[in-house]
Amino acid sequence: MFLDGVGIGSSDPGRNPIAAAKPRLLRYAAGDGEALPLEGRWCPTDAGLRVPGLPQSATGQTSLFSGVNAARLVGRHWPGFPTKPMRQLLEEASLFRRLRRVGKEVAFANAFSPSFFSQRPRLVSATTAMTESAGVPLRTFNDLRAGRALYMDFTNRRLRRRSYDVPELGPKEAAAQLVRLAGSYDLTLYEYFLTDLVAHRGSFEDAVTLVRELDEFLLAAAERAGEAGISLLISSDHGNLEDASSRMHTGNPVGTAVWGAFAEKLPLIKDLTDVTPLIETYLTEGGLAAKPAEGPAGRGPAILPRPRLGRREYRSDEGEHRVVPYRGRP
């Protein structure tokens, strides 16, 4: 899972809304030295990429999903959506591309709205670019209704408010739906970016509420994945949510947390560029069973969230990947 904009912050509940929410799973982002539930392990992961300035979404996500330092490639941290050199990098070397080349089946679990397909945005996120360039289908609201996808809020509440005929899912139901889907693929990615959005635009209380529900979802996903023999990996692209003293991204490391057999690779993760090569190695070196059949017996790491940053961040309010200028500070 890719969680956008979740770095490792302090344990101060007045400054870190993650600490204020007292999460069980996301405690690693709140300066909490306690062990993670369900035998999860985590490590700090550098998001600065040895380039000056605050880390940003396009370069952070492209680095995370390609294993190549995209900030070095373009000479700076770049916000929002990837530019052409980054899209080309993803086309050639993304996690999805690498796995497809060796016959692995991958899925991007996020559901895209009809307007994404009818009014194609000029720029798309790193995950969308990776999915499309690897020839992996984008999921639709029909997939969502059939239980083969999750919306970006995982509850569908935002869609129901807009009168879409989709069921409301509790955090546990949503987690079960995601893990069921992951059982049919070698690797399934889910991207959650409300973490970065609420950090840029929301109140402290909004952030605490969001973290509580997200934590419930993640905990249920870790439980279900463990029962199904599926490894779960959670990482991010840059810090933001963990420090409410600023609405900008932070220079904090992000956390990479893992459950299941993939945990053996965790000590090798030092920065964002380590994640994709290690998943590729793990899946191709026989750390898992061969390509799983469709059905709940399959196994594979489900990557869950992603991060975001900075100056002019382009982000869709409703996950439709429309290009909207970020109106917050700076």
Provide the binding-site residues for Zn ion, judged by CB under 5 A.
Answer: 196, 308-309, 313
Pairing state between β 232-236 and 254-259? antiparallel
Q: Tell me how far, at minimum, the Cβ of 73 lies from Zn ion, in Å.
A: 20
Tell me, what amino acid is at 220?
Answer: A
Q: Which of residues 45 and 156 has its CB atom nearest to Zn ion in the complex? A: 45
d(CA 71, CA 52): 9
Query: Residue 245: CB partners within 8 Å, gap ≥ 6?
Result: 15
Alpha-carbon span 322 to 318, nearest angstrom: 8
Nearer to Zn ion, 101 or 312 (CB): 312
- The closest residue (CB) to Zn ion is 308
Tokens of 115: 């307007």
* Burial grade of 169 (CB within 10 A; 0-12, 13-18, 19 or more): buried
Taking the complex as a whole, the smallest distance from the CB of residue 51 to Zn ion amounts, in Å, to: 17
* Closest separation in Å from C-beta 237 to Zn ion: 9
Q: Which is nearer to Zn ion, 224 or 238 (CB)?
A: 238
- Rounded Cα distance, 85 and 299, in Å: 33
Q: Which is nearer to Zn ion, 265 or 308 (CB)?
A: 308
Mapping DSSP to helix (H, G, I), strand (E, B) and coil, where does residue 325 land? strand
Sign of CA dihedral 125, 127, 131, 133: positive
Comparison of 100 and 311: residue with beta carbon closer to Zn ion: 311
Give the nearer residue to Zn ion in terms of CB position, either 139 or 308.
308
Q: To the nearest whole angstrom, how small is the minimum distance from the Cβ of residue 131 to Zn ion?
A: 21
**C-beta closer to Zn ion: residue 74 or 194:** 194
Which amino acid appears at position 54 of this protein?
A: L
Shortest spacing between CB 240 and Zn ion, in angstroms: 6
The residue among 120, 178, 201 whose CA lies nearest residue 2 is 178
CB of 76 to Zn ion, least distance (A): 16
- Tokens representing 142? 């029909």
308, 250 contact by CB (below 8 A):
no
Q: Give the nearest distance from C-beta 196 to Zn ion in angstroms.
A: 4
Identity of residue 87: R
Using CA of residue 77, residue 29, residue 223, residue 142, what is the dihedral sign? Answer: negative
- Tell me how many helices (H) and strands (E) the chain has: 13, 8
Least CB distance from residue 35 to Zn ion, whole Å?
30
Between 254 and 309, name the residue whose CB sits nearer to Zn ion: 309
